């Protein structure tokens, strides 16, 4: 919790140069959440989710999950990799939700700037995406590679590791940053960074590649629902305009 409190303070300092909210201009914290939920839980979104789950099922039951884990252990696990994985692991920790909630409150009630609007988009994406993440985790059910009897097979309602929560939490801010990036050349590295937390769980034998992929996909769908694009030339968040 102290780490989360420190991150909130840093984000508040970064947001401080933004435009101060006037007393009568305070925005509701959950502005636009209704449209975000309709996009996130619409028919098209569920069709995409069904395709992603079907693809994950192919990876699970074809043996690719175990093959990727074994190949990674043989060729890529190292001391340097462990240090990088630790960074990715921290980026996917649960307190980040509290950090983005605090930054969203700063944007709504105190000052609004590029950093605070980005943080607010992260919070909104997690609000609309986490319920489905938890549902997929529990309904599909799966165990970790580090379990006593490791298997990626789905066992509904018995375990809750079928989609990586770290991959979801760690991907959201990078995906939002990629959507808002004004220069296209910045987008590929930001997209690559969105996989770091998920890869850390593969490296630490806490998730199979299918589980990492599902967690990342759910983050991508949540970010698509929020549709954060940064700011317009007038400084108005396009996220708020579309709400």
Is 206 within a domain? Answer: yes
| Domains identified in the chain, total number | 1
13 versus 48: the higher-pLDDT residue is 48
Is 190 within a domain? Answer: yes
Is 9 within a domain? Answer: no
113 versus 217: the higher-pLDDT residue is 217
Q: Is the pLDDT of residue 228 over 50?
A: yes
Q: Residue 63 — left, alpha, or beta (φ > 0 → left; ψ -120 to 50 → alpha)?
A: left
pTM (predicted TM-score): 0.83
DSSP bridge partners of 237: 231
**Rounded Cα–Cα distance for residues 123 and 173 (Å):** 9
Mean pLDDT score of the chain: 83
The pair of structure tokens assigned to 106 is 């700063």
Instruction: Give the pLDDT of residue 150.
Output: 81
Is 25 within a domain? Answer: no
Residues 55-89: tens digit of each pLDDT: 999 999 999 999 999 998 888 887 788 899 999 99
Is 203 within a domain? Answer: yes
Q: Domain range spanning residue 190?
A: 31-241
Q: Is the pLDDT of residue 239 over 80?
A: no
Torsion of CA 158, 202, 206, 51, to 10 degrees: -20
Residues 99-120: tens digit of each pLDDT: 999 888 888 887 778 888 899 9
């Amino acid at each position: 919790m102290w780490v989360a409190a420190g991150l909130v303070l840093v984000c508040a300092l970064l947001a401080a140069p933004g435009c101060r909210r006037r007393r009568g201009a305070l925005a509701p914290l959950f502005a636009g959440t209704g449209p975000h939920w309709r996009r996130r839980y619409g028919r098209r979104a569920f069709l995409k989710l069904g395709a992603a789950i079907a693809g994950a099922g192919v990876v699970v039951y074809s043996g690719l999950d175990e093959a990727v884990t074994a190949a990674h252990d043989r060729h890529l696990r190292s001391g340097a990799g462990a240090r990088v994985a630790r960074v990715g692991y921290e980026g996917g920790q649960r307190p980040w939700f509290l950090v983005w909630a605090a930054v969203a409150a700063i944007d709504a009630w105190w000052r609004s700037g590029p950093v605070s609007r980005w943080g607010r988009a992260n919070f909104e994406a997690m609000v609309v995406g986490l319920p489905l993440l938890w549902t997929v985790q529990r309904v599909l059910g799966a165990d970790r590679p580090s379990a006593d009897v490791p298997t990626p097979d789905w066992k509904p309602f018995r375990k809750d590791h079928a989609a990586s929560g770290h991959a979801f939490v760690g991907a959201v801010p990078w995906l939002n940053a990629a959507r808002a990036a004004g220069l296209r050349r910045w987008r590929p590295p930001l997209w690559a960074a969105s996989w770091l937390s998920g890869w850390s769980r593969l490296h630490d034998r806490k998730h199979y590649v299918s589980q990492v992929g599902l967690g990342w996909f759910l983050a991508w769908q949540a970010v698509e629902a929020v549709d954060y694009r940064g700011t317009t030339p007038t400084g108005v968040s396009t996220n708020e305009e579309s709400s």
